[in-house]
Structure 1
Amino acid sequence: MSKRTSTAAANGAAAISDASDIKEEPTYDKQKDLLSNEMGHFSLVRAMHLADLITELNGLCGVLSIFSSMRYLIGDPNDHGNIYTALAFLPLGLFFDFFDGKVARWRNKSSMMGQELDSLADLISFGVGPAVVAFAIGIRTPLDHLCLAFFVLCGLTRLARFNVTAQMIPKDSTGKAQYFEGTPIPTSLALDGLMAYWVSNGWIHDAIPGGVWFAGTILEVHPIVVLFMIHGCLMTSKTLHVPKP
């Protein structure tokens, strides 16, 4: 082979290599570009995908649940309408939590913003919302406050860990993660259902199951709040792997 032929072959190989490098560049992210650069009116809204707007409805359900609990606190404690409304908004939030994922896959429009929105909405609907309902029905001593705060912070930590490690969890043939690390935060709806059962039986305020321990002291606490703490520990568990349905 002549020197010229050898040089041409080398140049051709380099061109092919350069072309391969070009193909491997990250794809253009229109949403990220809009969020970073666009300054027009309603630019944030125009940058959001349909799935993102549905995720916002999940967060709305959580906020309305909190407001309903607050309305119960300033109203007649024997009128349970607002507390039932607060409890009902939480599973409605779960509906939107499932639906936004289906829409994102249908439209092939997943994004980092959508992932962050999903976690923040979940924290409101399945972390803060149930804790506020528990407070409203009578789990409200100073030590109860700390226990409920522990539950919410566990949910916050679990969601932050998910956002960081989601890409590292083994995937199945369809690209979905094979399991959850720790129980997903929407499983707090089990506590939601339990509290609805208590309300239906009148087991709230002074009649909360388990009563109150160390009444009148700094250690006054409703032992039933331990259920929230256990759930918080399950959410943050690293060794507990829950298979995805």
Structure 2
Amino acid sequence: MPQSSTSTPTPKSGKNNKHHGPALPVRFSLVREFQLADFVTLGNGVCGCLSLMFAMKALLTQSTDFLFSAFWCIPIGVMFDFLDGRVARWRRSTSLLGQELDSLADFCSFGIAPAVLGFACGFQKMLDLVVLTYFVCCGLARLARFNATVASLPTDQNGKVKYFEGTPIPTTLAIVGVLAYGVYHGKFWRFANPVFRHEGPFAAFSSAFTPEYVWGGELAILPGYELHPLVLMYAVSGTLMISRRLRIPKP
């Protein structure tokens, strides 16, 4: 009597063999979803990244040329930030992806970059770092609040938000302008022809960021804890950004 076989039949290859797993995404699907305005927004993010890199390059080379390049990246980023909204309305193409991309680019260009530029100009005391960190956190919170509440804010007949709660984060361009003015007029830095002493290759920093070489000098808060008074402009800017009582009409 022949024994029965219980082996599992092998699937046949051919057109009728269907794949039941999740479909693979289309190649470059993220880029394909970008609208024209999103590419303009990426230009803003690129400016922020370049500003950070130029600021670090300026400290490494002790050259103000790189520092001025870092300064110029911020107003160019503002231009991209201004244009992306216009392009989106012109193309009538807005998306949640574009909104999040805009906030991340703004945080890089107008939140982190200005703080790093302040550090590069000499705001390097411990209390300076506390103020700069407060400024960055305010910018982050301001953008997060806008994304979370934008749907509930009053809009005009075109669907555009009527006002900002707190100052918009691109207003930090004013801080960058103050720093650029100070560097141009010799109120920051003394890195021209630095003399390297036996202390090591970074000895020039000790002479470049002494109180008389940082605009506004230093203020002793506690023994061992000094503060550059000019850094307080970051504290004022950050506080204005997170204010809900301050309403700025949106152009």
Of Structure 1 and Structure 2, which has the larger fraction of its residues in helix? Answer: 1
Aligned to 2:118: 134
Provide the C-alpha distance between the structure 2 equivalents of 1:220 and 1:121, rounded to a whole number of angstroms.
33
Aligned to 2:146: 162
Residues 1:226 and 2:232 aligned together: yes
Cα separation, partners in 2 of 1:184 and 1:38, compared to 1, 3 Å: farther
CA contact (8 A) 1:198 1:208 kept: no
Residues 1:67 and 2:53 aligned together: yes
The structure whose Rg is larger is 2
More moved, 165-174 vs 55-64: 165-174
RMSD of aligned residue pairs (Cα, Å) = 1.5
Amino acid at match of 1:152: V
CA contact (8 A) 1:62 1:89 kept: yes
Aligned mate of 1:106, from 75, 87, 90: 90
Aligned residues: 207
Cα deviations across residues 33-73 of structure 1 (Å, max 9, x unaligned)? xxxx7613211111111111111110010000000000000
Residues 1:150 and 2:134 aligned together: yes
Amino acid at match of 2:159: G
Cα deviations across residues 52-99 of structure 1 (Å, max 9, x unaligned)? 1111110010000000000000012xx311010000000100111111
SS at match of 2:61: coil
Provide the C-alpha distance between the structure 1 equivalents of 2:86 and 2:42, rounded to a whole number of angstroms.
15
Residues 1:212 and 2:218 aligned together: yes
Amino acid at match of 1:45: V
Residues 1:122 and 2:106 aligned together: yes
Provide the C-alpha distance between the structure 1 equivalents of 2:74 and 2:216, rounded to a whole number of angstroms.
25
Runs of at least 4 residues off by over 3 Å: 215-218
Aligned to 2:197: none
Amino acid at match of 1:68: F
SS at match of 1:220: strand
CA contact (8 A) 1:184 1:235 kept: yes
Amino acid at match of 2:246: L
Written as runs of structure 1 = structure 2, the 5 A alignment for 1:174-189 is 174-189=158-173
User: Aligned-pair distance for 1:141?
Assistant: 1.0
Identity of aligned residues (%): 47
Aligned to 1:242: 248
User: Aligned-pair distance for 1:213?
Assistant: 1.6
Aligned to 1:49: 35
User: Aligned-pair distance for 1:208?
Assistant: 2.2
Aligned to 2:195: none
Provide the C-alpha distance between the structure 2 equivalents of 1:224 and 1:84, rounded to a whole number of angstroms.
19
Amino acid at match of 1:194: V
Amino acid at match of 1:224: L
CA contact (8 A) 1:203 1:209 kept: yes
* TM-score, length-scaled by structure 2: 0.79
User: Aligned-pair distance for 1:113?
Assistant: 0.5
User: Aligned-pair distance for 1:145?
Assistant: 0.9
CA contact (8 A) 1:142 1:220 kept: yes
CA contact (8 A) 1:212 1:221 kept: yes
